Structure 1
Amino acid sequence: MEIQVRRQQRLVNLHDQENANVLKGKSNAILPIKRQGLSARGALGDLNTNAQAQRDIAIGKVAVVTAEYEKKATLNRATIKSNYSHVRSKIDTGLAAAKPIIQPSSRPPMRREESTAGLAAKAIARTKAVLKETQQNKTNDENILKPRKQDSKKPSKLSAVKEDAKPVLKEPTESLGKLKLAEPVKQDSRLEKQHPQLPPDVEDIDAGDNNSPLLMTCYIKDIYHYLTEMELKYAIEPDHLRKQSVITGKMRATLIDWLVEVQRQFSLVLETFHLTVGIIDRYLQAVPNVQRNQLQLVGVTAMFLASKYEEIYAPEVGDFVYVTDNAYSKADVFRCERDIMSKLGFCLARPIPLSFLRRFVKAAHGTSKNHHLAKYFVDLSLVEYSMAHYRPSELAAAALCLSLYLLSRKTLEAVWTPTMIYYSEYTLEHLDPIIRKIAKIVVNVKDSRYKSVYNRYLDPKLAKVSALPELKEEAIQELAKIPSTTYL
Structure 2
Amino acid sequence: MEIQVRRQQRLVNLHDQENANVLKGKSNAILPVKRPGLTARGALGDLNTNAQAQRDIAIGKVAVATAEYEKKATLNRATVKSNYSHVRSKIDTGLAATKPIIQPSSRPPLRREESTAGHAAKAAARTKAVLKETQPKTNDENILKPRKPVQDKKPSRLSAVNEDSKPVLKEPTESLGKLKLAEPVKQELHLEKEHPPLPADVEDIDAGDNNSPLLMSCYIKDIYHYLTELELKYPIEPDHLRKQSVITGKMRATLIDWLVEVQRQFSLVLETFHLTVGIIDRYLQAVPNVQRDQLQLVGVTAMFLASKYEEIYAPEVGDFVYVTDNAYSKADVFQCERDIMSKLGFCLARPIPLSFLRRFVKAAHGTSKNHHLAKYFVDLSLIEYSMAHYRPSELAAAALCLSLHLLSRKTLEEVWTPTMTYYSEYTLEHLDPIIRKIAKIVVNVKNSKHKSVYNRYMDPKVAKVSALPELKEEAIQELAKIPSTTYL
State the TM-score bracket (shorter-chain normalisation): 0.5 to 0.7
Q: Gaps spanning 5+ residues in structure 1: where?
A: none
* Residues 463 and 184 of structure 1, relative CA distance in 2, 3 Å threshold: farther
* Residues 168 and 274 of structure 1, relative CA distance in 2, 3 Å threshold: farther
Equivalence for 2:412: 412
CA shift for structure 1 position 110:
36
Equivalence for 1:147: 146
Q: In structure 1, the residue corresponding to 2:102 is in which secondary structure?
A: coil
Per-residue deviation, residues 279-334 of structure 1 (Å, max 9, x unmatched): 00000000000000000000000000000000000000000000000000000000
* Residues 473 and 162 of structure 1, relative CA distance in 2, 3 Å threshold: farther
* Residues 328 and 177 of structure 1, relative CA distance in 2, 3 Å threshold: same
* Residues 242 and 146 of structure 1, relative CA distance in 2, 3 Å threshold: farther
- 1:21–1:29 contact (8 Å) kept in structure 2: no
- 2:192–2:219 contact (8 Å) kept in structure 1: no
- 1:32–1:39 contact (8 Å) kept in structure 2: no
- 1:32–1:40 contact (8 Å) kept in structure 2: no
The farther-off stretch of 102-111 and 290-299 is 102-111
Per-residue deviation, residues 142-183 of structure 1 (Å, max 9, x unmatched): 9999999999x9999999999999999999999999999999
* Residues 48 and 304 of structure 1, relative CA distance in 2, 3 Å threshold: farther
* Residues 44 and 358 of structure 1, relative CA distance in 2, 3 Å threshold: same
* Residues 400 and 139 of structure 1, relative CA distance in 2, 3 Å threshold: farther
Q: In structure 1, the residue corresponding to 2:36 is in which secondary structure?
A: coil
The farther-off stretch of 139-148 and 256-265 is 139-148
Equivalent-residue separation in structure 2 for 1:33 and 1:439 (angstroms): 116
Equivalent-residue separation in structure 2 for 1:7 and 1:126 (angstroms): 60
- 1:364–1:420 contact (8 Å) kept in structure 2: yes
Taking only aligned residues, the RMSD between alpha carbons, in angstroms, comes to: 19.2
Equivalent-residue separation in structure 1 for 2:453 and 2:32 (angstroms): 120
- 1:369–1:463 contact (8 Å) kept in structure 2: yes
* Residues 148 and 193 of structure 1, relative CA distance in 2, 3 Å threshold: farther
CA shift for structure 1 position 485:
2.4
Equivalent-residue separation in structure 2 for 1:163 and 1:421 (angstroms): 74
The farther-off stretch of 111-120 and 200-209 is 111-120
* Residues 71 and 347 of structure 1, relative CA distance in 2, 3 Å threshold: closer
CA shift for structure 1 position 219:
1.2
Equivalent-residue separation in structure 1 for 2:97 and 2:434 (angstroms): 97
Q: In structure 2, the residue corresponding to 1:159 is in which secondary structure?
A: coil
- 2:25–2:63 contact (8 Å) kept in structure 1: no
1:226 partnered with 2:234: no
- 2:269–2:311 contact (8 Å) kept in structure 1: yes
* Residues 54 and 113 of structure 1, relative CA distance in 2, 3 Å threshold: farther
* Residues 108 and 280 of structure 1, relative CA distance in 2, 3 Å threshold: closer
- 1:254–1:450 contact (8 Å) kept in structure 2: yes
CA shift for structure 1 position 195:
1.0
In the alignment of these two chains, the number of paired residues is 486
Equivalent-residue separation in structure 1 for 2:63 and 2:243 (angstroms): 119
Equivalent-residue separation in structure 2 for 1:292 and 1:115 (angstroms): 72
- 1:397–1:424 contact (8 Å) kept in structure 2: yes
The farther-off stretch of 64-73 and 276-285 is 64-73
Per-residue deviation, residues 431-454 of structure 1 (Å, max 9, x unmatched): 000000000000000000000000
CA shift for structure 1 position 483:
2.5
Per-residue deviation, residues 374-403 of structure 1 (Å, max 9, x unmatched): 000000000000000000000000000000
CA shift for structure 1 position 484:
3.1
Larger radius of gyration: 1
Per-residue deviation, residues 435-485 of structure 1 (Å, max 9, x unmatched): 000000000000000000000000000000000000000000000001232
Equivalent-residue separation in structure 1 for 2:360 and 2:213 (angstroms): 20
Equivalent-residue separation in structure 2 for 1:356 and 1:390 (angstroms): 13
* Residues 170 and 102 of structure 1, relative CA distance in 2, 3 Å threshold: closer
User: Which is helix-richer, 1 or 2?
Assistant: 1
The farther-off stretch of 49-58 and 99-108 is 99-108
CA shift for structure 1 position 192:
8.8
Q: Give TM-score scaled by structure 2 length.
A: 0.63
- 1:437–1:484 contact (8 Å) kept in structure 2: yes
The farther-off stretch of 238-247 and 186-195 is 186-195
Question: What percent identity do the matched residue pairs reach?
Answer: 93
- 1:445–1:454 contact (8 Å) kept in structure 2: yes
Structure 1 runs (4+) deviating above 2 angstroms are 1-136, 138-151, 153-194, 483-488
Q: In structure 1, the residue corresponding to 2:173 is in which secondary structure?
A: coil
- 2:399–2:435 contact (8 Å) kept in structure 1: yes
Equivalent-residue separation in structure 2 for 1:103 and 1:402 (angstroms): 89
Per-residue deviation, residues 122-142 of structure 1 (Å, max 9, x unmatched): 999999999999999x99999
CA shift for structure 1 position 66:
24
- 1:272–1:307 contact (8 Å) kept in structure 2: yes
Per-residue deviation, residues 9-42 of structure 1 (Å, max 9, x unmatched): 9999999999999999999999999999999999
The farther-off stretch of 414-423 and 10-19 is 10-19
Q: Give TM-score scaled by structure 1 length.
A: 0.63
* Residues 244 and 52 of structure 1, relative CA distance in 2, 3 Å threshold: same
* Residues 94 and 250 of structure 1, relative CA distance in 2, 3 Å threshold: closer
* Residues 15 and 470 of structure 1, relative CA distance in 2, 3 Å threshold: closer
**Where do residues 18-167 of structure 1 align in structure 2 (5 Å cutoff)?**
none
* Residues 408 and 16 of structure 1, relative CA distance in 2, 3 Å threshold: closer
Equivalent-residue separation in structure 2 for 1:467 and 1:302 (angstroms): 30
Q: In structure 2, the residue corresponding to 1:175 is in which secondary structure?
A: helix
Q: In structure 1, the residue corresponding to 2:27 is in which secondary structure?
A: coil
- 2:364–2:420 contact (8 Å) kept in structure 1: yes
Q: Gaps spanning 5+ residues in structure 2: where?
A: none
